[in-house]
Amino acid sequence: MRLIHGEHDLFGDGSVTLIPTYGHTPGHQSMKVRLARGDVVLTGDACYMRKTLDDLHLPHRNFLHDREGMLASLQIFRDLQRRGARIFYGHDVEHWANVPQAPLEVV
């Protein structure tokens, strides 16, 4: 186990970066992956659905550790999205219906 603080370049080459996205849980991390067509951000539970990001529609308080932390995490996703990253939402059925599933490759 390795404790990290802030963003962490997992392989030291910028291909996979862990991003602290607190709010849902105290130590939650999301992942930015560099692909040939640009960055993809895997939000995990920091952003359940597109509506969460578009409308800042937070989950019920029973599923939320820190409201301000989650809003800050959503702002990180918005900033990455403005810079061209594709956001992959944790539980958005409509989003995942359009994502190639294994063994197909996400490009």
Determine phi and psi for 33, rounding to 5 degrees.
-120, 130
Which residues have C-beta within 8 Å of that of residue 72, sequence separation ≥ 6? 22, 23
Q: What residue segments make up the domains of the chain, in order of their start?
A: 8-97
CATH topology of domain 8-97: Metallo-beta-lactamase; Chain A (3.60.15)
pTM: 0.88
Q: Are strands 86-88 and 38-42 parallel, antiparallel or unpaired?
A: parallel
Residue type, 60: H
Q: What is the pLDDT along the chain (107 residues), one digit of tens a residue?
A: 888 889 999 999 999 999 999 888 888 999 999 999 999 999 998 998 899 899 988 876 666 788 888 899 999 999 999 999 999 998 888 988 889 888 988 87
